[in-house]
Structure 1
Amino acid sequence: MRALLRYQGALLLRSQRWLPPVLLYVGLVAISLDGQSQLGSQLGWNAAMLVPALAWLTRAQLVADPPAARACLAAAAGARRPQYAALAVPLAAGLLLVLLAAAGSVWACPAPPGVPLATVLGDGLAGGMVCSLTGSALGAVCGPPLVRTTAGGVGALVIGSVMLLVLSTSPANAAVRELLSSGRTGVRFPMLPLLAALPLVAACWWASAWAAGRAGAASGRESG
């Protein structure tokens, strides 16, 4: 698995498909760092913007592999393990973005009065993790082999991102709401959103890997 993770990480960097979603996220975070928002609210914005950015990055990783290379990986390691590796690398990148955005927010934004900085930062990072997991889940179900066409994938990403951020039943919505209200009511660790995001991302990753295994088996029967 380590070799697959290294391969997917190198593929992501060489393909430069990470540039548009990462630059989108950096731009959305940068324009909001006006120094007037409370730290908790800023961390909530950072987390919210990660949902579409990480979903885009995840789908970009899933389409980065050429068909011939994907067939070689499936023959060597099976179809599911490379799919899991392709999903894990963007998630790791998203968690790194959470840390970098939080560092910039601590520098630019004041903490809510009467609340320790470590508490606000810890809860903000937890909210960012919830949105990272949610964005990864969305990218997994909007990428191949579940959604193969570019138009279908982009449309699903846009609609899914809006729904995950707007619907009150979404883990991302719940985590962001708590962070955005931190200036008035203090901060709370987003335990329930985190507990909801974990099975969500696990189910979406499993569905993506299962579809990859079915596609690999079908390809093997056709070639045989």
Structure 2
Amino acid sequence: MKALLHYQTALLLRSQRWLPPVLFYLGLLAISLDSQSTLGSQLGWNAAALVPALAWLTRALPAAEPPAARACLAAAAGPRRPQYAALAVTFAVGLLLVLLASGAALLTCKVPRGTAGVTVLGDGLAVGLVCLLAGSALGAVCVPSLVRTTAGAAGALIVGSVLLLVFSGSPANAAVRAAYSSGAHFPALPLLIVLPLAVACWWVSAWAAGRTAATADREAG
């Protein structure tokens, strides 16, 4: 698995498919940072912006792999493991973005003193994790093996991101809303909901990738 993670990381960097979603996220972050925002509300914004950005990035990495390379990798490592590695790499990039955005918020926003500041930061990071899992889940079900056309994937990513952030039953919406309203509220229930959802979406994504690889092998044979 370590070799697969290295391969997917190198593919992401060399293809430069990470640039548009990461720059999109950094742009949303830049326009929101100011000294007037509270730490809790800024962390909530950072988390919300991560949903479409990470979903886009999660879709982009599998789309960057040439079909021949994908077939060779599936034959060598199995049909599903490369997909899990790709999802893990993009999830790690999203986690790095959460940490960087949280650091920027600490430097520019009003931070409560003492233990209150630590509590708000911890709860904000948990909100970021909820949105990270939600964005990863959305991107996982929009990969090329499930949504083949670029236009279809773009539409699914936009609609899915809007629903995750606006629909009141969404764990991402609940976590972000709590961050804005109270500034310090650990999203225990949203985490309990989004975690199995993300696991299920990852499994479906890997299953679809394996099925696509098997179909390609039959057609080649």
The aligned amino acid for 1:103 is G
1:21-32 equivalences in 2 (<5 Å): 21-32=21-32
What is aligned with 2:218? 221
User: What is the rounded CA distance, in whole Å, between the counterparts of 1:169 and 1:114 in structure 2?
Assistant: 34
1:207 aligned onto 2:194: no
Q: Post-superposition, which runs of at least 4 consecutive aligned residues in structure 1 deviate over 2 A? A: 111-115
> Please, which runs of 5 or more residues in structure 2 have no aligned partner?
none
User: What is the rounded CA distance, in whole Å, between the counterparts of 1:21 and 1:71 in structure 2?
Assistant: 26
Q: Structure 1 residue 111: deviation in Å?
A: 2.5
1:152 is paired with a residue whose SS is: helix
The aligned amino acid for 2:28 is L
Instruction: Compute the RMSD of aligned alpha carbons.
Output: 1.1
Q: Structure 1 residue 175: deviation in Å?
A: 0.7
> Please, which runs of 5 or more residues in structure 1 have no aligned partner?
none
What is aligned with 1:155? 155
The aligned amino acid for 1:212 is A
What is aligned with 1:144? 144
The aligned amino acid for 1:188 is H
Q: TM-score, normalised by structure 1?
A: 0.96
> In terms of mean alpha carbon deviation, does 144-153 or 210-219 score higher?
210-219
What is aligned with 2:102? 102
User: What is the rounded CA distance, in whole Å, between the counterparts of 1:199 and 1:73 in structure 2?
Assistant: 28
Identity %: 72
Asked if structure 2 preserves the Cα contact closer than 8 Å seen for 1:83 and 1:212, the reply is yes
CA deviation digits over 1:59-85, x for unaligned, max 9? 011101111100000000111000111
The aligned amino acid for 2:220 is S
The aligned amino acid for 1:159 is V
1:92 aligned onto 2:89: no
Q: Structure 1 residue 4: deviation in Å?
A: 0.3
CA deviation digits over 1:34-63, x for unaligned, max 9? 110110000000000000000001001110
The aligned amino acid for 1:91 is F
1:1-224 equivalences in 2 (<5 Å): 1-112=1-112, 116-183=116-183, 187-224=184-221
Aligned residue pairs, count:
221
User: What is the rounded CA distance, in whole Å, between the counterparts of 2:115 and 2:168 in structure 1?
Assistant: 26
2:64 is paired with a residue whose SS is: coil
Q: Structure 1 residue 140: deviation in Å?
A: 0.7
User: What is the rounded CA distance, in whole Å, between the counterparts of 2:14 and 2:164 in structure 1?
Assistant: 30
